[in-house]
Amino acid sequence: MAEHEFTAEPDSLEIVTTYIFDAPRQQVFDAYTDPELVPKWWVPGAPLTVHEMDVKAGGSWRFVMSADQEYAFRGVYHQVTAPEQLVFTWQYEDAPTVILQTVTFEETSDGKTRVTDQGVFQSLKDRESMLTSGMGEGSVCPVMPLGFTITPRQQPGASRAHRPPPACPRPDGRRAG
């Protein structure tokens, strides 16, 4: 599982989450941009269908998560610099809030990948609404299973114990899975 740090400073329009994955940068970037891989980690315990994912500047994306009902998310890619950075909008279709996400992929000196995910909201009210719904810290949840999806570097012959990813909040604040 990835290490992570979640930051939501008072009176700031942003939420910043940092993850460290024991995998090469290209592999982590691919997990964010490959429509075959995204459903494996987006939200554990809730099937995800990628309806659209055109990973290029101006390209759109749309994912639908199924739990007891469907939750649809969409956005537009504004910048794609493989394997360094993604800039895109993020919106839960049943809410007016649009978030500008900047995700940076950085190689660390020990061969791991640091992913910094900065979400900038249009207002403090929008950001606070996200935080109180459980989807703020819950933004950590969709990415955490990525640590289960990508295979960390291992010593030859080492086995990797499988632990199920944590249950995560849905857009309505309840937990999936």
The percentage of the chain sitting over the pLDDT mark of 90, rounded to a whole number, equals: 56
Angle at 163 between CA 160 and CA 166, to 5 degrees: 140
Q: Is pLDDT of 171 > 60? A: no
- CA 159-150-144 angle, to 5 degrees, is 105
Spatial CA neighbour of 25 closest among 88, 110, 84, 101: 84
- Record the pTM: 0.80
| pLDDT 10s digits, 88-133 | 999 999 989 999 999 999 999 999 999 999 999 999 999 988 888 7
**CA torsion through residues 5, 60, 27, 24, sign:** negative
pLDDT at res. 3: 78
Helix ranges restricted to H, the chain: 25-33, 38-41, 124-132, 140-143, 146-149
Q: Which two tokens stand for residue 74?
A: 């969409």
Architecture of domain 3-149: 2-Layer Sandwich (3.30)
pLDDT of residue 134: 67
pLDDT at 153: 42
DSSP state of 121: -
Where in the chain are the domains?
Answer: 3-149
Q: Flag whether pLDDT at 1 surpasses 80.
A: no
Q: Is the pLDDT of residue 46 over 90?
A: no
Rounded Cα distance between 35 and 38, Å, is 5
Assess whether pLDDT exceeds 90 at residue 175.
no
pLDDT tops 50 at residue 28: yes
Per-residue pLDDT, 2: 65
